[in-house]
A and B are shown apart, each in its own frame.
Chain A
Amino acid sequence: MRLNGLEKRMLAGELGEPRRWAIGQQIAVGEFFDAADFVEVAQVHICADTEALGPSGVAFLEQIAGAPEEQRRALVPTITDPRGADFRRAARIGHPDWVVELERRTAGAVAAMRIMLTDTCINYQSVLPPVRGEHLAFGDTGSVIYANSVCGARSNYEGGPAALAAALTGRVPRYGFHLDACRRGSARYRIADRPRSLSDWGALGALIGRAQESYWQVPVIEPCLGHGAGSDELKHFGAAMASYGSTAMFHLCGVTPEATEMEPGLAAVEIGHREIDAFYQSFAPSRDELDVVVFAAPQLSLFEIAELARLLKGRRVHGSTTLLVATSPEIRHAAERLGCCATIERAGGVVLEGVCFYQMHARVLAEANGWKTLMTNSAKLVNIIAGYGYEPVLAPMDRCIESALAGRIRR
């Protein structure tokens, strides 16, 4: 890779050990993907939940945080993905003390690097939306696919260590979705029927993601006539596609800004209600008892929380079922101010802030609470959570709520 003068000084260790480590990591990855040089980034978003970090990752962050201030601070605005525990509600949902302690140590180390603890995977809705053409280093698959596809910004998947490296150098290797050539459509789908709910959008994204060959394929989707999509719909659509397919960008014709870019002669695969309904059926439960209902993955927007509050107003979650809602600190504060949190909590729900369910040591929570059957409207969450020992059920939001009230799965 070509290095400029500043990058050579970083590599030589003249700007301290953390930046030498960081650019060394980035050169290894850049050369693996044949990057010619670096590109500066405007924002960094870092995954640093302790379920991913583990004790060794936390110790690594503390080691960087122990460097002199001028060597350890982030060079560009840097924010965090959801953490693993909601400090104020950890006891209520059965998080053990060791999880909370690991999270506190992580928060301390991250703050020492002047990283802002936003604890959100919907930063494009709740912090600072990306801008077309802006180069970023985003560290959540859902935020990357939204930034690339909906905003027209440019980011690869930057895992925790890589996003940390980007924060310390202010740049990333220029390959993949930073380059025009990688952003052209290379697979084609046609939506036959209008999706009926957010979970339909998630199912649709999942079906497309599952069909993608690799990170490097970019699906082009033709919506049914006269149909667009909103931010929450595209959030579920993209997050599921990224989860099932490692897909970092899609083009939705008539909606996303670069949708005109497509390789010629691609045959379209049609997806409609029949395929979506079969997808739901693939998560059909083996029993009716319902342990936990989760609204998360991605964290909820203010509109989604308002809808939940409307559905729960004046009602009561069944005593044998737990209902969890995960959102960002900013959105929770807004929902609190508007009375939505009080409505949900009067109904027996728990509105968590700064976390997302699968990043919360989900196996530990299952053991602590005896949870097995999990119902959600998130196609992303049902993809992840089976590996943690849960039996996941996918359904639209209103059916999840009716099931939570009954304490049994409404089919």
Chain B
Amino acid sequence: MRIIRGHKGIGRFVRGLALVAPDNFSARYDLDRERGIFSRPSHALHGESYVGRVLVLNAAKGGVATSWMLAEMAARDMAPFALLLNFANPIMAQAAAFSGIPLIDRFEVDVTRAIASGAEIDVDPPAGLVRILP
């Protein structure tokens, strides 16, 4: 089992399957929130469903709407399970605090290279840790 350390995060401990890309993230720009898929044609995850997955991406990009949108997605059970980013911005942190979707960032390594898509992982925001399960 490999452990990756980040900054102390927001939210509760969860276990889930990772969906990983070395791309960035904005709920307004990148997602079809009704269908639960990445809809931005140029996004590395275009066409993929993010619902119930631990999204592992590089950095928060784009506008302020993500903080309302992630909560709305969670209310409809159409949200990612957790977010792991190399660099969050305030919007992602505010979104995590408001929606209850766990978030960790500022890892000791590039998190998009350290975790493979489909890996089962533990996300522990209070400890700022991610465990990749064997």
Contact = CB atoms under 8 A, between A and B. Distances in A.
Contacts of B42: 386
B61 A246 contact: yes
- Which interface class (under 10, 10 to 19, 20 to 34, 35 or more) fits B? 35 or more
A115 to B, nearest CB: 15
Contacts of B43: 387
Given A25-B98, A29-B97, A159 B67 contact: yes
28 contacts: A28-B97, A29-B93, A32-B9, A32-B103, A33-B93, A47-B64, A49-B65, A53-B72, A54-B68, A54-B75, A57-B72, A157-B89, A157-B91, A158-B64, A160-B64, A160-B65, A161-B68, A161-B94, A161-B98, A213-B87, A214-B87, A214-B89, A215-B87, A243-B62, A246-B24, A246-B62, A359-B65, A384-B28
Contacts of B30: 387
Nearest to A81: B64
Contacts of A386: 40-42
Given A32-B93, A214-B59, A387 B40 contact: yes
Contacts of A242: 63
Given A56-B72, A57-B68, A387-B30, A162 B94 contact: yes
Counting from the closest, the 4 A-B pairs by CB-CB distance are A159-B67, A54-B72, A214-B87, A215-B89
Interface in A189-229: 213-216
The secondary structure that dominates the B interface is mixed
A159 B68 contact: yes
Interface string B39-52: 11111000000000
A54 to B, nearest CB: 3
A29 B90 contact: yes
Given A141-B63, A244-B61, A245-B61, A160 B68 contact: yes
A156 interface: yes
Contacts of A158: 64, 90, 94
Contacts of A52: 28, 64-65, 68-69, 72
Given A56-B75, A158-B64, A159-B95, A32 B8 contact: yes
Interface centre among B29, B32, B40, B66 (most CB of A within 10 A): B29
Interface string B77-89: 0000000001111
B90 A53 contact: no
Contacts of B72: 52-57
Interface string A329-358: 000000000000000000000000000001
B123 interface: no
A160 B60 CA distance: 16
Interface of B: 7-10, 24, 28-32, 34, 39-43, 59-69, 71-72, 75-76, 86-91, 93-98, 103
B68 A53 contact: yes
A377 B114 CA distance: 40
Interface in A41-72: 47-49, 51-57, 60
A215 B91 CA distance: 10
A384 B30 CA distance: 8
A140 interface: yes
Contacts, number: 143
Given A28-B10, A29-B97, A32-B9, A159 B40 contact: no
A176 interface: yes
Nearest to B9: A32
Interface centre among A32, A214, A215 (most CB of B within 10 A): A32
Given A57-B71, A386-B42, A387-B32, A176 B65 contact: no
A141 B60 CA distance: 13
Contacts of A133: none
Interface centre among A25, A47, A363, A387 (most CB of B within 10 A): A387
Interface centre among A60, A156, A159, A162 (most CB of B within 10 A): A159
Contacts of B71: 56-57, 60, 161
A25 to B, nearest CB: 5
Contacts of B96: 28, 32
Nearest to A173: B90
Nearest to A30: B93
A307 interface: no
A176 B90 contact: yes
Given A162-B67, A243-B62, 17 more contacts: A25-B94, A25-B97, A28-B97, A29-B94, A32-B10, A32-B88, A53-B72, A55-B75, A56-B76, A57-B71, A158-B64, A159-B68, A162-B98, A214-B60, A246-B24, A359-B65, A388-B39
A243 B62 CA distance: 4
Given A28-B97, A160-B64, A244-B61, A389 B39 contact: yes
A157 B64 contact: yes
A186 interface: no
A31 interface: yes
A57 B75 CA distance: 9
Contacts of B98: 25, 161-162
A94 to B, nearest CB: 18
